[in-house]
Amino acid sequence: MQLNTYRRTQVRQIIGKGFKIPQRVFDTLLDEFNAFLVEDDRTFLYNVHYILYQKKNMEMTRKTLQSIVDTFVFLYEDASKEEERQKVKKQFDLLFDMLFIQRCFYSKKIEERAKTAQKILLHTTERLSETIETQELMIANISHEMRTSLNAIYGYLRIIDENNTLSGEEHQFLQKANSATLALKSLVNDILNVTKLNSGQLEIQKEYFWIDEMLMQCIDHIALEMKKKKKITLLTDIPFLPVQVYGDKAHIMEILVNLLSNAVKYTDEGTIRLEVIFKKQGKGYDVGFSVEDTGIGMTPEQIKTVFSPYSRFRTERQGLGLGLHIANELAKKLAGKLCVESTFGKGSRFELDIAFNEIKSSIVQVKDKHFCFFIDKLIHLSYRSRLEFLEKNGAKVYVFEKETEFINFLLTSGKTIPDMVFVTTGEEGYAKFDALIYYLRTLPIYKKTVFIAENIQQHLSLNFFDEVYEYYAPVTVYNKLLTVVNDENKNEEQNISLLVIDDTEMNLEIFKLFALKRFPNIRIDLAGGGYEGIGMFKIKKYDLVFLDLKMPGLNGFDVLMKLKKLDDIPPVYAFSADIYKSNIEKIEEYGFAGMIEKPLQPEKLFKIIEEVINAKNT
Amino acid sequence: MRQIIVTCKEMTEIDFIPTVIIGFYQSSMQLSFSRDCTVLKDRFPDVDIIGCSSESNIYDSIPHVFLKDNDLCVFVCLDIKKESYRIELHTPKSIVKKRETQDAAYSALIFCSHYFTNLEEVIRDIQQEKNIQPIFGAIAGVTASSKIQKGMIFWNGKYYNEHMLLWLVDQKNYLLEGKSIHHFQPVGFDMEVTKARENILYEIENRPALEIMEELVGHITKDTIESFEHPFFLRENSKLPFSDSPLCSIRSIDKKKGSISLYRSVNEHTKLKTGVSLGREEQEKQLQEFSVFKNKKNAVAFLFNCVGIKANLGLMEFVYLMDLKKKLHLPFIGFHSFGEIGPVNADDYSVLHNQTMSIAVLSEREDKECN
């Protein structure tokens, strides 16, 4: 089958329908096609295949197929002999096989490879999940052990410190050991937090709380660090929000303490400003917290990675660099937003926005109470708003700016003895009023008055004030302070029995030391294991039980199950270093009254004991 | 350096007197190759003819890859100065001991009849101790297979089936350079070889190697082995990323023992990963890397394509070779091999690997040309 002039013209027309090809190229193409038909020379076939593959154009491939079919149909019909027709058919089959069938085979192969790749990906994902789970378990176990040991170290150091038995160089060593323990505790907590966040084990625990109270607690957390930096001042502007908001107080505090702590860490001189803005939004409030410092600031590059894990760019300062990463992740979990602005060399400003959709209007029980304030230095507006709030709630407020008038009032007030007296003054003034309180305490009429020193920004040894606040006491704690003073005698009269079950002797010892220091009249029995604890429980009545979860033999859950089979069991609190969500859920599921974390948090322990004492009284 | 690539049908087109001729032939064409070599030797009595059997031949004209029904012997004829090269024939056991330190700096092309258990060691020693580098080359065949005949080396009219042949080229006058590419990327976890001997992989991560592989890629059949679908990346140097580590294909499996036989040796504690095929665009990008050798003057390229590439690409391989032709713009000749020798990166030492397209470009040094 030769392409004669007539056939060349016809083929040119057929191909010309689909493609615009220059004359010279067309001639070469037809020559190659002729060689393919006549001599089996495959140059044409290979060139067409290569072009189609390279162009990756479906439309072009379709048109090419159309042209090939039309051309071969024409050649087949135009062939005069059967032999020629068979040759045309054979070459068409060859061309079709090369251009399309082979590509289909290849595509099929690629599809199979994609399936294998998917299988590998699936397998890798499964193994990755297993690895993560194993790591989590490992970290949980390590953290448990670390926290248990830390519990002992932290507890013993605190007891030695509180006993004031060391002096001079030895006391300095103790302080250094204390500081290193706190750093280690913070590190273990950071690692645990990251693990919890990564594994979705973070427990959101909402409660109603007062924002100003929370902020005061945040400031308390950084008080020690602030004291070390003598050239920085903390300025606060915290307007009083007269409602309780519903949110995860502990985690919001964690974010804010981190921001404040960073501000202290990276500011050597100047100010740190803590501000809050409230905006009514529907039934709740949008609250914007901001922490601004005049510290070293960040470059634009540093800002980009500030929330990445281990991004501590200022390596000369302490820490692993996990804090801001945790803060940012926590903010996301709380449906909030953490933003940063910073100028290198000038300082940084972090803003945390959180929406509180649920609020509770609470009345502070200050009606008919008498509050006396002595303020002899400049104070900011938020203080005034608190005084207004007290008056609105029915309290009688007396404010003095002159020392003589204030002292006169206290000495001659007669029947209007104040329930609470607040003093904000200078260093010498506090010492003077401390002596005055000593005198007033000798008078029976002042037996129930609470004396509070506020805005103490330096370390002063005040012996007769009931409470001392770095900034000011939130109004929400006024009730509590009044109750504590009034109930002081009650507690002394109370006797309750506690059972603590833990396989680690050190834990038992520290627990006992802390509890008895605050509640010297309570009785504490210690059990070194599950069976021993159950045995003790059977022969004696207890008001409260603390139960370690991880013990050899019977673990805490098993012990609780056995205790539940006995009659009249008191509140049983879990005592554990495993603070994973799954563990917390399990604790709830088994019916523990609550959980107390290791290392032991004395304040939480005291609160639980107080509640049991109060419940017993009522 | 004059050069021409011809098939046995085109031998009359040789229009100069070559000093070296390198030819490749499919194993079944040994008689034909012997006949062609006799013709060439009669015509050019002083020529050194080196030959190597192949799974199939490749050269730079259509159809690029010879199919079994039209396989021809292919030859590259080179007019290279006699004093600038030497040819050595070794057995794998003798090579390290017998080779003497050379005064001149040499680079080398190596052809092996089949895989030897100490081949990686030999390759390393030649480069590091004998200072012969770079080296490129390929393995002609396997020791025994139902389908493939034994690999053979040809030199001075004789065939050798337990040997390796070194063609050492003086670096003063000639430049030998090149690189190896492949179409795979490492995926999955790092795994450790916990039991292996020579080229047999018994255990990975303390479990039977075959069990681990089948868990990862699915059932391994004769078809999957012959299509070279699941190569390993073997990393012995922990400083190198897996992507720069040699690829290694599965040669056979032993279901009873749960072991996998490979096309190269493997050591215990070696890390490995499975490879999955790159997408088409990535493959084309890889090919682009060869364009650094484009348009070199007085140059010829040797191309050693793994039989795995042929199995993976099938008839589509010619598309890649057409593309390579455009990128190189050099005459090239080569064959489908059972192991290629070349560096993953141009500056690295050469290693033995599988599943690669390895190119070695021999050119006359331009400064010599000026002289």
ipTM comes to: 0.83
Pick the CATH number of A494-617 from 3.40.50.300, 3.40.50.970, 3.40.50.2300, 3.50.50.60: 3.40.50.2300
Q: Which residue has the tokens 């109004």?
A: A475
Residue whose entry in the numeric block shows the structure tokens 């006799």: B38
The secondary structure of A405-443 as a DSSP string is HHHHHHHH-TT---SEEEEE--HHHHHHHHHHHHHHHTS
Q: Hey, are the CB atoms on B217 and A116 less than 8 Å from each other?
A: yes
pLDDT, tens digit (0-9, with 9 covering 90-100), for A202-216: 778 888 888 988 888
What pLDDT score was predicted for residue B370?
A: 39
Query: Which H, E and C letters describe A498-542, residue by residue?
Result: EEEECCCHHHHHHHHHHHHHHCCCCEEEEECCHHHHHHHHHHCCC
**8 A C-beta contact, residue A609 and residue A497:** no
What's the CA gap between A131 and B95, in Å, rounded? Answer: 47
Q: Does B222 lie in the same domain as B330?
A: no
A107: exposed, middle or buried (Cβ count in 10 Å: 0-12, 13-18, 19+): exposed
Residue A492 pLDDT greater than 70, yes or no: no
CATH superfamily, domain A370-485, is Response regulator (3.40.50.2300)
CB contact under 8 A, A46 and B230: no
**CB-neighbour burial class of residue A269 (10 A; exposed 0-12, middle 13-18, buried 19+):** exposed
Q: Are residues B303 and B262 in the same domain?
A: no
Question: CA-CA distance, A481 to A420, in Å (whole number)?
Answer: 9
Which chain B residues touch A50 with a CB distance below 8 Å? 318-319, 322-323
Tokens 């006699």 — which residue?
Answer: B82
Decide whether A370-485 matches A494-617 in CATH topology. yes
Name which of A42, A119, A123 is nearest B62 (Cβ-Cβ): A42
Give the pLDDT confidence score for residue A356 in this predicted structure. 95
Extract the tokens encoding A266.
């990276």
Interior CA angle at A415 toward A412 and A417, to 5°? 75
Average model confidence (pLDDT) across chain A: 84
Q: Confirm if B231 and B195 have CB atoms less than 8 A apart.
A: no
Residue A310: predicted pLDDT: 63
**What is the average pLDDT across B258-281?**
91
Q: Are residues B269 and B308 in the same domain?
A: no
- Residue A117 forms contact with B (CB below 8 Å): yes
- B276 in contact with chain A, both atoms CB, cutoff 8 A: yes
**Alpha-carbon span B43 to B46, nearest angstrom:** 9
Is residue A372 helix, strand or coil? strand
**What's the domain count of chain B?**
2
What amino acid occupies position A483?
A: T
Closest partner residue to B276 (CB to CB) among A50, A106, A120 is A120
Sequence-distant (≥ 6) Cβ neighbours of residue B185 within 8 angstroms: B243, B275, B276, B278, B282
Residues of B in contact with A52 (CB under 8 A): none
Chain A residues within 8 A of B216 when measuring between CB atoms: 119-120, 123
Do B120 and B24 share a structural domain?
yes
Which chain A residues are Cβ-neighbours of B64 within 8 angstroms? 46
Q: For residue A319, what pLDDT is reported?
A: 56
Degrees to nearest 5, angle at CA A525 with A521 and A529 = 160
pLDDT of residue A315: 47
Same domain, yes or no: B71 and B55: yes
Residue A596 has pLDDT above 90, yes or no: no
Domain final residue pick, B241, B276, B311: B276
Backbone angles phi, psi at A235, to 5 degrees: -110, 135
Where do we find the tokens 């007269």? A242
Chain A residues close to B314, C-beta within 8 Å: 102, 105-106, 109
Q: Which of B185, B159, B174, B183 is nearest to B302 (CA)?
A: B174
Judged by CB atoms closer than 8 Å, whether chains meet at A98 and B315 is answered as yes
B188–A120 CB contact, under 8 Å: yes
CB B40 within 8 A of CB B75: yes
Of B63, B64, B277, the CB nearest to A113: B277
Q: Is B240 on the interface with A (CB under 8 A)?
A: no
Q: What is the pLDDT of residues B337-358, one digit of tens each?
A: 999 999 987 778 899 999 999 9
**Phi, psi of A400, rounded to the nearest 5 degrees:** -120, 140
Contact B355, B283 (CB under 8 A): no
Question: Any idea what DSSP says for residue A344?
Answer: T
Query: Quick one: average pLDDT of B231-260?
Result: 91
Distance from A4 to chain B by nearest Cα, in Å? 26
Under 8 Å CB pairs connecting chains A and B tally to 61
Which one, of B300, B365, B304, lies nearest residue B331 by Cα?
Answer: B300
Q: Scanning every residue of chain A, which has its alpha carbon at the shortest distance from the alpha carbon of B213?
A: A120
Q: For the segment B79-106, what is each residue's pLDDT rounded down to a tens digit?
A: 999 999 999 999 877 765 555 555 568 9
User: Which member of A54, A109, A127 has the closest CB to residue B189?
Assistant: A127
Average pLDDT score over residue span A392-412: 88
Contact yes or no for A124 and B188 at CB 8 A: yes
Residue B247: strand, helix, or coil: strand
Q: Which chain B residues are closer than 8 Å to A36 by Cβ? A: none
Label residues A140-172 b or e (16+ Cβ within 10 Å = b): beebbebbbbbbbbbbbbbebeeeeeeeeeeee
Rounded to an integer, the average pLDDT of B142-152 is 72
pLDDT category of residue B252 using cuts at 50, 70 and 90:
very high
Closest-CA distance, B177 to chain A, in angstroms, reads: 28
The answer to whether the Cβ–Cβ distance between B217 and A120 falls below 8 Å is yes
Q: Which amino acid is at A123?
A: H
B313 touches A: beta carbon within 8 Å:
yes
Task: Give residue A550's pLDDT.
Answer: 85
What is the distance between the alpha carbons of residues A527 and A502, in angstroms, rounded to a whole number? Answer: 6
**CATH number of the A207-360 domain:** 3.30.565.10
B187 touches chain A (CB under 8 A): yes
Distance CA(A251)–CA(A273), nearest Å, equals 21
Q: Please name the member of B217, B277, B323 whose beta carbon is closest to the beta carbon of A119.
A: B217
**Nearest chain A Cα distance for residue B77, angstroms:** 25
Q: Which residue of A has its CA nearest to B314?
A: A106
Do B28 and B155 have their domain in common? yes
Mean pLDDT of B359-364: 94
Q: Is the dihedral of CA A203, A204, A208, A210 positive or negative?
A: positive
Asked whether B177 and B169 are in contact (CB, 8 A), the reply is no
Kindly state the DSSP code that residue B224 receives in the 8-state scheme.
H
- Is the domain of B39 the same as that of B134? yes
Percent pLDDT > 90 in chain B is 57
Confidence of residue B369 (pLDDT cuts 50, 70, 90): very low
Give the nearest chain A residue to B321 (CA atoms).
A50
Residue B74: phi and psi, rounded to 5, are -120, 145
Q: Which residues 48-67 of B are in CB contact (within 8 Å) with A?
A: 62-64
**Residue A176: its H or E element:** helix A168-198
Q: β-pairing, A544-548 with A497-501? A: parallel
| B263 and B304 part of one domain | no
Are the Cβ atoms of B63 and A46 closer than 8 angstroms?
yes
Q: Which residues contact B206 (CB under 8 A, 6 or more apart)?
A: B194, B195
Please give, rounded to a whole number of angstroms, the shortest distance from the CA of A50 to a CA of chain B.
Answer: 6
- B368 pLDDT more than 60: no
**What single string gives the DSSP state of each residue in B296-365?**
-TTEEEEEEEEHHHHHHHGGGHHHHHHHHHHHH-S-EEEEEESSEEE-SSTTSPPEEESSEEEEEEEEE-
Helices A23-39, A43-55: axis angle to 10 degrees equals: 130
Cβ-proximal residues to B281 (8 Å cutoff; 6+ apart), any chain: none
Residues B276, A113: C-beta atoms closer than 8 Å: yes
In this predicted structure, what is the pLDDT of residue B67? 67
* Residue A422 Cα to chain centre, angstroms: 36
Q: What are the structure tokens assigned to B38, written together?
A: 């006799």
Per-residue confidence (pLDDT) for residue A232, from 0 to 100: 84
Residue of chain B whose alpha carbon sits nearest to that of A41: B62
Taking residues A376-388, report their average pLDDT.
68
Residues B249, B295 within the same domain = no
* Better pLDDT: A452 or A517: A452
In a shared domain, residues B257 and B136: no
The residue assigned the tokens 């309750």 is A496
pLDDT at A397 over 60: yes
Angle between helices A43-55 and A82-96 (to 10 degrees): 30
- Look up the domain containing B142 and give its range: 2-181+282-370
Q: Rounded mean pLDDT of A268-278?
A: 91
Residues B264 and B128 occupy one common structural domain: no
pLDDT in tens, A316-375: 455 556 789 889 999 999 999 999 999 999 999 999 999 999 988 766 778 888 999 998
Residue B363, pLDDT above cutoff 90: yes
What chain A residue is nearest to B215 in terms of C-alpha separation?
A: A123
Residues of A (48-77) whose Cβ lies below 8 Å from B: 49-50, 53-54
**B278 has a chain A CB within 8 A of its CB:** no
Q: Among candidates A444, A440, A450, which has minimal Cα distance to A483?
A: A450
Whether B319 sits inside 8 A of A110 (CB atoms) is no
Domains of chain A, residue spans: 5-109, 138-198, 207-360, 370-485, 494-617
Contact in structure between B349 and B343 (CB atoms under 8 Å): yes
Query: Cβ contact (<8 Å) for A120 and B319?
Result: no
Same domain, B49 and B145: yes
| Residue A556: pLDDT over 80 | yes
Nearest CB to B187; choose among A42, A50, A120: A120
Residue ending a domain, choose from B248, B276, B304: B276
B82, with CB counted inside 10 A (0-12, 13-18, 19+), is exposed
Mutation target among B9, B59, B187 for the A interface, most CBs of A within 10 A: B187
Q: Are A563 and A519 in contact (CB under 8 A)?
A: no
Domain boundary among B250, B276, B302: B276
Nearest by CB: B319 against A50, A109, A128: A50
Nearest of A403, A413, A432, A358 to residue A209 by alpha carbon: A358
| Cβ-defined contact of B216 to A123 (cutoff 8 Å) | yes
- Whole-number Å distance between alpha carbons of B325 and B362: 16
pLDDT for the residue B176: 94
pTM of the model: 0.63
Shortest CA gap A107–chain B (Å): 10
For A327, the token pair is 């803060």
pLDDT given for residue A318 in this prediction: 56
Partner residue opposite A105 with nearest CB, options B62, B216, B314: B314
**Residue A119: its chain B contacts at CB < 8 A?**
216-218
Distance CA A547, CA A557 (A): 9
Residue of B nearest to A123 (CA): B216
* Interchain pair B277, A110: CB under 8 A: yes
B149 touches B28 (CB < 8 A): yes
